[in-house]
C-alpha cells in the first residue's frame, strides 16, 4: 500500500509544532510565524523527498511546493482551532 499522503500530514504536524514553539518563545513576532512554518515545510518537503521512498513527489520543485503548502496548512489548522474555540 502507498501511504505517501501520511508523510505530507507529518510535515504539517511538524510545522504546527514549530509554530507553537515560536509562539511560546515570544521572540518571534506573530506576523512572522506563518513564514517560519512555510519555510520549515519547504525544507522538510525536500528532506522527505530524499529520505522517504513513498513521498508523493520526486523532484525538488514539487517537493518545495508540497512542503510549503503543508507548512502553511499548519497555520490554517491553528486559526481554525482558534475560530472554533471562539464560537463555543
User: Would you state the cell numbers that stand for residue 43, as one nine-digit string?
Assistant: 525544507
Nearest to 57 by CA among 68, 69, 45: 45
User: Would you state the cell numbers that stand for residue 2, as one nine-digit string?
Assistant: 502507498
pLDDT digits (tens, 9 = 90+) for 27-76: 999 999 999 999 999 999 999 999 988 888 999 999 999 999 999 999 99
Report yes or no on whether pTM surpasses 0.95. Answer: no
Amino acid at each position: 500500500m502507498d501511504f505517501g499522503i501520511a508523510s505530507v500530514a507529518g510535515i504539517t504536524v511538524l510545522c504546527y509544532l514549530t509554530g507553537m514553539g515560536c509562539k511560546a518563545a515570544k521572540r518571534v513576532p506573530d506576523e512572522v510565524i506563518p513564514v517560519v512554518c512555510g519555510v520549515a515545510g519547504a525544507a522538510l518537503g525536500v528532506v522527505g523527498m530524499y529520505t522517504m521512498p513513498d513521498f508523493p513527489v520526486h523532484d525538488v520543485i514539487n517537493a518545495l511546493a508540497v512542503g510549503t503548502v503543508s507548512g502553511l496548512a499548519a497555520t490554517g489548522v491553528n486559526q481554525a482551532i482558534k475560530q472554533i474555540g471562539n464560537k463555543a
